[in-house]
């Protein structure tokens, strides 16, 4: 540590850029203006995708919940399909598929997910829509925020927060019912019989929704969301995204009194409508930036202004950097990165389809006894012991029978006729002994294959490769 020095020098210099940093650091609340337009309509349509989240779990199929991620019992039910932990590799392929779809879409058309599908975007949109209905347009909201507390302000604020909380609770409930029977959950909820885990989940999601959509809003996109940061890597000069046509717009300037555009000025009349409507409060005219979730609302705003001043639409439009900077625009199929994503998408999709069509109805695993590896019986024959695990993936209880192929000549499965019960959705464990004449045991290890088959339907079977062990020759 050095002694205090009189002149600190340039320590404050780093703040000289502060004025140009247009991203809201959370010190002001953004009240974005709602304007009708193509992208506004599109956004309503895409956001209604989340209705599935709210109501999908109530769908019934054969008397059971059609879509049930039954984590407690370690099985997923998707209509007729039951996915057990053994098939979990398909879930990793599904995650890969979703991630790659996200990447591919982003590389082609930028943050489509952020702008149109993301739950944060959708819930914030819903919350601010309610806010607008109760507190009025952005101007009124700013005034109300600054106004002293009176009966009207209290009434408006309280009712807004109550509705927000109601939506948040419903969000928490809707999340939880994907993991257990929806109707049983509602019944338990109404009777205050929820378990600690259920209560915790509900509370966490309620508070999470309330704070993230009600208070954090665009701050979540800017500072919390990791995906927002990954995006920057995936957009390149070929990616189309909402962009301000600098060549056409600059130099910007206000309209002359009388509504005429000043000669030698660009088409941008500096009306700030694009900033007013932005849910994250960025100025798109500064170029593509971290805060832009590419929701297209500024396109609607700018187009409506262009219509009013009699200029062509598209001063702000979906355009690639190549197009804006006058470079030749390549076709979509000339975008190699997208192709890589598409190939990975197809591979993982193929894997999932293979998995779903080859789920099988039984699974067998056989573990040979390790201590002792084999036993010499009184007649000199060699006996091996195996622990069988049979998994029944069907929805009925089964009886299975054991048989073997290969192995030692003259080998005998002890009690081969015996059937074993395997409950549906469960794994049954049982012991099987195999005995073989010592003179036929040719080495320490002889390969063999076990097979279990359904007694009533022998085509339903499962195999497992194992070995028969004997003494050294």
Partner 1 sequence: MSDNHNSAGGVPTTGHVWDDDLADFVNQPPKWWMLGLTASALWVVIYFIMYPAIPLATNGTFFKGIGLPGTGQWTAIKELAEDQKVLDDVRRPFEDKLKTMTPAAILADEELSKYVERSGKVLFSDNCGGCHGQNGVGTEQVGAKFAVREQGLMAPRLNDDDWLYGGKIDDIHATITGGRQGMMTAHKDTLSAQQIDDVSKYVLALSEGRGDSEAAGKKVFMESDCTACHGADAKGIQAMGSANLTDRVWRFDGSIEGIKQTITYGVNSGDANARAAIMPNFTASGKLSAVDMKKLAVYVYKFGGGQKDEAAAPVAAVEAAPAPEAAPAPEAK
- Where on the chain is the footprint of partner 1 (CB under 8 A)? 1-2, 4-12, 15, 369, 371-372, 375-380, 383, 385, 397, 399, 414-415, 418-419, 421, 423, 429-431, 433
Give the span between the Cα atoms of 395 and 393, in whole angstroms: 7
CB of 368 to partner 1, least distance (A): 13
Shortest CB 382 distance to partner 1, Å: 10
Q: How many other β-carbons are positioned within 10 Å of the β-carbon of residue 339?
A: 14
d(CA 411, CA 450): 13
CB-nearer residue toward partner 1: 317 or 435: 435
d(CA 185, CA 179): 10
Q: How far apart are CA 296 and CA 318, in angstroms?
A: 8
Q: Give 397 or 405: the residue with its C-beta nearer to partner 1.
A: 397
> Nearer to partner 1 by C-beta: 85 or 372?
372
d(CA 274, CA 302): 6
Provide the minimum distance between the beta carbon of 408 and partner 1 in the complex, in angstroms, as a whole number: 17
Nearer to partner 1, 304 or 394 (CB): 394
Q: Which is nearer to partner 1, 288 or 381 (CB)?
A: 381
> What is the smallest separation between the CB atom of 467 and partner 1, expressed in angstroms?
17
CB nearer to partner 1: give 152 or 456: 456
Q: Buried (b) or exposed (e) across 397-423, using 16+ Cβ within 10 A?
A: ebebbbebeebbeebebeeeeeebebe
Supply the minimum distance, in Å, between the C-beta of residue 1 and partner 1.
Answer: 6
DSSP β-bridge partners for residue 432: 386
Q: Which is nearer to partner 1, 244 or 374 (CB)?
A: 374
User: Helix, strand, or coil here: 371?
Assistant: coil
Torsion of CA 146, 150, 155, 158, to 10 degrees: 60
Output the smallest distance, CB 187 to partner 1, in A. Answer: 24
The nearest distance, CB 240 to partner 1, in angstroms, is 39
CB of 224: closest distance to partner 1 in angstroms? 17
Closest CA to 398 of 311, 345, 458: 458
Q: Residue 241, SS3? A: strand
CA distance 390 to 365: 7
| Contact (CB, 8 A) for 74 and 85 | yes
Minimum Å gap between C-beta 196 and partner 1 is 13
In angstroms, how far is CA 366 from the centroid of its own chain?
37
Under 8 Å between Cβ of 173 and 202: yes
By beta-carbon proximity to partner 1, the closer residue of 263 and 379 is 379
CB of 220 to partner 1, least distance (A): 18
CB-wise, 2 or 191, nearer to partner 1? 2
Cβ–Cβ under 8 Å, residues 313 and 298: no
Shortest distance (Å) from residue 375 CB to partner 1: 5
Peptide bond into 372 cis (omega under 30): yes
Q: By C-beta, is 256 or 418 nearer to partner 1?
A: 418
Longest dimension (CA), the chain: 114
Which residue, 308 or 376, is less far from partner 1 as judged by CB? 376
Strands, E assignment, 345-440: 362-368, 375-376, 382-392, 398-406, 412-413, 420-422, 427-436
- Minimum distance of partner 1 from residue 457's CB (angstroms): 14
Cα distances from 188 to residues 50, 97, 191, in angstroms, run 25, 36, 5
Residue closer to partner 1, measured from CB, 10 or 72: 10
d(CA 273, CA 257): 18
List, in order, residues 6 or more apart from 227 with CB less than 8 Å away. Answer: 102, 113, 114
């Amino acid at each position: 540590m050095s002694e205090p020095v009189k002149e600190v020098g340039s320590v404050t210099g780093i703040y000289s850029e502060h004025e140009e940093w247009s991203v809201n650091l959370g010190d002001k609340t953004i009240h974005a203006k709602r304007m009708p337009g193509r992208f506004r309509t599109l956004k309503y349509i895409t956001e209604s995708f989340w209705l599935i989240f709210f109501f999908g779990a109530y769908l019934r199929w054969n008397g059971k919940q059609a879509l049930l991620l039954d984590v407690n019992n370690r099985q997923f039910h998707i209509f007729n399909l039951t996915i057990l932990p053994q098939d979990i590799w398909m879930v990793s392929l599904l995650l890969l598929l979703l991630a790659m779809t996200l990447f591919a879409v982003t590389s082609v058309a930028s943050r489509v997910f952020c702008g149109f599908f993301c739950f944060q975007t959708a819930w914030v949109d819903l919350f601010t829509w309610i806010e607008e209905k109760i507190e009025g347009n952005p101007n009124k909201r700013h005034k109300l925020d600054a106004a002293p507390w009176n009966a009207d302000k209290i009434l408006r604020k309280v009712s807004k927060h109550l509705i927000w909380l109601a939506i948040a609770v419903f969000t928490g409930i809707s999340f939880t019912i994907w993991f257990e029977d929806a109707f049983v959950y509602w019944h338990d909820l109404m009777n205050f019989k929820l378990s600690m885990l259920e209560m915790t989940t509900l509370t966490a999601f309620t508070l999470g929704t309330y704070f993230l959509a009600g208070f954090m809003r665009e701050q979540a996109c800017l500072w919390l969301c990791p995906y927002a940061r990954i995006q920057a890597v995936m957009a390149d000069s070929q990616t189309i995204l909402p962009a301000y046509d600098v060549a056409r717009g600059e130099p910007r300037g206000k309209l002359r009194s009388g509504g005429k555009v000043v000669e030698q000025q660009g088409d941008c009349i500096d009306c700030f409508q694009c900033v007013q409507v932005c849910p994250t409060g960025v100025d798109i005219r500064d170029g593509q930036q971290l805060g832009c979730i590419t929701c297209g609302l500024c396109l609607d705003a700018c187009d409506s202004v262009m219509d009013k001043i009699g200029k062509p639409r598209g001063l702000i439009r979906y355009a690639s950097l190549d197009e804006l900077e006058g470079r030749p625009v390549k076709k979509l199929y000339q975008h190699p990165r997208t192709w890589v994503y598409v190939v990975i998408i197809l591979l993982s999709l193929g894997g999932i389809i293979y998995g779903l069509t080859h789920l099988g109805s039984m699974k067998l695993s056989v573990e040979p006894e390790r201590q002792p590896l084999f036993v010499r019986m009184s007649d000199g024959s060699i006996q091996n012991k195996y622990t069988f695990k049979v998994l029944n993936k069907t929805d009925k209880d089964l009886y299975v029978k054991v048989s073997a192929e290969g192995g030692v000549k003259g080998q005998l499965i002890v009690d081969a006729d015996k059937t074993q019960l395997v409950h549906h959705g469960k794994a049954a464990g049982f012991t099987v002994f195999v005995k073989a004449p010592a003179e036929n045991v040719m080495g320490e290890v002889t390969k063999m294959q076990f097979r279990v088959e359904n007694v009533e339907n022998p085509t339903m079977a499962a195999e497992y490769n194992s070995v028969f062990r004997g003494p050294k020759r």
